[in-house]
């Protein structure tokens, strides 16, 4: 009995919300084998058991970690399928702000992230999914908690949080807490998801540019579903394909290939993966579009629309 209880104690190390260890059962089994041996030999074996590393892997349940955020998406995110396969999404900020329950959901989600152990992220798409959800949640939360930025009118763009000289200041604010440490949105996107460590591990994905959502009309679509270790690979491809089927991200004009400024700002990421922007795009479009991409005489970039991604700002949703 004593050995079994000790097994449970040692197997149940502290875990943050949504984190489970797959090796607990193996640890208990090992302790029970020691118990049957008994005596001094048993105590010696017990010591060896405690020193022996297990093959357990920590499993992160992102649906549990991000349950409050999922409820916000389910209630207030609007998705509309477009002719041709494109997708437009918008968030009903004012409705969410007016809902008395929103503040509780934001607080619950912030608390879950504050207690989360990021060292548990040891699988590629699980890690990417965690940080994508974090980025997109914090962007929404900042708007819902600061809708007027101290003024009397709702913000019209995330640039309203900045100044004439620093219009994109909101992305550099170190105010978003995870695991007892504060991050900025820029750090999550550029230093983690697209940073040197993920690159060295083979985890860097240019498709991430079509999943982080900066709460603007020009952004790729936010999704109603959470990113998880199981669906992220497919969703990254789907987001990219569907974004490229909307005129905001790609269209052709008299021999000119017009692309979102994402392809201008992050050109190096696409070149790193495919050799060129054109080659990268061709992996996510149909054969007819690939021919048009190849034959286009020049590339020009579409001015990014930084208007808030609320339904009233999308002609398709009016």
For residues 140 and 136, give the distance between their C-alpha atoms in angstroms, rounded to a whole number: 6
Q: What is the pLDDT of residue 11?
A: 43
- Give the phi and the psi of residue 43 in degrees, each rounded to 5: -65, -40
C-alpha distances out from residue 164 to 143, 150, 172, 215, Å: 19, 17, 15, 19
Tens digits of residue pLDDT in 257-305 = 999 999 999 999 999 999 999 999 999 999 999 999 999 999 999 999 9
**Does the pLDDT at position 216 exceed 90?**
yes
Q: What is the pLDDT of residue 13?
A: 43
Question: Quick one: 108 exposed, middle or buried, by C-beta within 10 A (0-12, 13-18, 19+)?
Answer: middle
SS3 90: strand
Q: Residue 271 is encoded by which pair of tokens?
A: 């070149």
Q: Residue 203 is encoded by which pair of tokens?
A: 């985890």
Tens digits of residue pLDDT in 2-59 = 444 544 444 444 456 677 655 544 444 444 554 555 555 555 544 554 455 554 567 7
For residues 225 and 144, give the distance between their C-alpha atoms in angstroms, rounded to a whole number: 20
- Give the phi and the psi of residue 227 in degrees, each rounded to 5: -80, 135
SS3 176: strand
Q: What residue spans define the domains of the chain?
A: 2-56, 61-317
Q: Which is nearest to 260 in space by CA: 229, 305, 221? A: 305
Q: Which residues contact 98 (CB under 8 A, 6 or more apart)?
A: none
DSSP string of 21-65, one letter each residue: ETTHHHHHHHHHHHHHH-HHHHHHHHHHHHHSPP---EEE-HHHH
C-alpha distances out from residue 300 to 80, 151, 244, 257, Å: 27, 37, 15, 6
Q: Using the structure block, give the residue that is written with the tokens 């409820």.
A: 71
pTM, whole model, 2 decimals?
A: 0.85
Count of alpha carbons within 13 angstroms of residue 44, beta-carbon side: 4
Q: Are 244 and 250 in contact (CB under 8 A)?
A: yes
**Does the pLDDT at position 222 exceed 80?**
yes
DSSP conformational letter for 84: T
Tens digits of residue pLDDT in 228-267 = 999 999 999 999 999 999 999 999 999 999 999 999 999 9
Q: Which residues contact 164 (CB under 8 A, 6 or more apart)?
A: none
């Amino acid at each position: 009995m004593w050995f079994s209880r000790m097994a449970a104690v040692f197997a149940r190390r502290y875990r943050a919300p949504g984190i489970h260890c797959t090796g607990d059962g193996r640890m208990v089994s090992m302790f029970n084998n020691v118990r049957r041996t008994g005596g001094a030999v048993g105590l010696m074996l017990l010591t060896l058991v405690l020193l022996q590393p297990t093959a357990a892997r920590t499993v992160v349940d992102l649906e549990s970690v991000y349950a409050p955020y999922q409820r916000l998406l389910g209630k207030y995110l609007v998705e509309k399928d477009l002719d041709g396969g494109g997708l437009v999404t918008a968030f009903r900020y004012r409705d969410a702000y007016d809902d008395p329950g929103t503040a509780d959901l934001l607080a619950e989600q912030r608390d879950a992230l504050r207690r989360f152990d990021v060292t548990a992220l040891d699988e590629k798409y699980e890690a990417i999914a965690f940080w994508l959800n974090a980025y997109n949640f914090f962007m929404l939360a900042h708007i819902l908690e600061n809708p007027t930025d101290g003024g009397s009118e709702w913000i019209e763009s995330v640039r309203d949080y900045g100044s004439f000289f620093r219009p994109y200041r909101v992305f550099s604010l170190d105010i978003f807490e995870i695991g007892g440490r504060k991050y900025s949105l820029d750090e999550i996107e550029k230093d983690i998801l697209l940073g040197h460590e993920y690159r060295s591990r083979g985890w860097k994905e240019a498709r991430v540019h079509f999943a982080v959502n900066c709460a603007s009309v020009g952004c790729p679509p936010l999704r109603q579903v959470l990113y998880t270790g199981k669906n992220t690979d497919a969703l990254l491809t789907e987001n990219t394909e569907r974004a490229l089927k909307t005129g905001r991200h790609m269209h052709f004009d008299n021999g000119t290939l017009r692309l979102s400024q994402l392809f201008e700002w992050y050109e190096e990421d696409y070149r790193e993966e495919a050799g060129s922007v054109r080659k990268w795009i061709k992996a996510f479009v149909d054969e007819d579009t690939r021919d048009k991409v190849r034959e286009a005489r020049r590339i020009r970039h579409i001015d990014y629309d930084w208007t808030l991604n609320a339904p009233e700002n999308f002609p398709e949703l009016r």
